Amino acid sequence: MTVTNPSSHAAVVKLDHGYVPHVGTTRSISRHALFGWHPFACVPAVAGEPGYRMVISRAGGWTSNFIDNPPTHVWVKGIPTVGVANAKRLFNRVLYVVTGSGIGPVLGHLLTDTQGARLVWVTKTPRATYGDDLVNEVESAQPEAVIWNTSEQGKPDVFEITYQAFVASGADAVICVSNKGVTDRIVSEFEKRGTPAFGPIWDS
């Protein structure tokens, strides 16, 4: 396992233990064998490299400690679980709408499904936060992606730029990974227009 820090906000974990989870799944990792488990999306490794990756963003005590004091190893929980972005399998072309670290759960889909995906990513300083390598990967796989840098472009109306991208892309469904307020609005507005829309649920 190796950990790199493109910024003080994020870490990219590279795992290679003989098993590569399917795209669209999450696995829980911990610094200890018996407690402190946290799930993260499984992202394919860079072409030509073994294993897979996880993108960890600062979002609380555990993730902050992980970024500031990266471990030499982690424990990995056995069976991967399926994430919300797998709803894409029901459709031909999907528009992903993500804010900030919501890029993590959809990253594997974006990098591997270059014909049936389109992206709107609203985030602060994407290159400074997540690193040139990761952003370059996204732009290479998704050359028509809308990457809205809020530090330079200001805070947008996420639904409005999403709807414009939806019309331009010809997508037949929308998947949103954001905070509850943004997700609820995106899903509600598209459902009002008769378009299937999905987001994570907050049931824990």
Work out how many domains the chain is built from and give that number. 2
What is the average per-residue pLDDT within 172-183? 96
Distance set, CA 77 to CA 22, 49, 74 (Å): 15, 22, 10
Q: Specify the CATH number for the domain of residue 11.
A: 2.40.30.10
Mean pLDDT (whole number) for 173-201: 95
Domain end, chosen from 45, 60, 81, is at: 81
Does 204 reside within a domain?
Answer: no
Choosing from 51, 81, 111, the residue where a domain stops is 81
Write down the pLDDT at residue 86. 87
Token pair of 27 as six digits: 């696995």
Give mean pLDDT, residues 106-130.
92
Is 16's pLDDT higher than 60?
Answer: yes
190 and 91 in one domain? yes
Same domain, 125 and 25: no
Residues 19, 118 share a domain: no
Residue 45 included in any domain: yes
Q: How far is CA 136 from the centre of its chain?
A: 15
> Domain limits at 67?
2-81
Of the candidates 193, 197, 168, the one whose C-alpha atom is nearest the C-alpha of residue 182 is: 197
pLDDT, mean over the chain: 94
Is 164 part of any domain? yes
Regarding whether 186 and 90 lie in a shared domain, the answer is yes
Residues 88, 74: one domain?
no
- 173, 181, 156: which is closest to 146 by C-alpha? 156
Q: Looking up tokens 């500031």, which residue turns up?
A: 68
Same structural domain, 130 and 179: yes
Give the domain CATH number at 160. Answer: 3.40.50.80
User: Quick one: 52 and 103 in the same domain?
Assistant: no
73 and 162 in a single domain? The answer is: no
Q: Do 23 and 119 lie in a common domain?
A: no
Q: Which of 49, 81, 113 is the last residue of a domain?
A: 81
Between CA 11 and CA 194 the distance in angstroms is 38
pLDDT in tens, 60-69: 999 999 999 9
Residue 36 and residue 7 share a domain: yes
Contact 69, 22 (CB under 8 A): no
If asked whether residues 66 and 49 sit together in one domain, one would say: yes
**Residues 6 or more apart in contact with residue 84 via CB below 8 angstroms:** 105, 175, 177, 198, 199, 200, 201
Which amino acid, residue 87?
A
pLDDT for position 202? 65
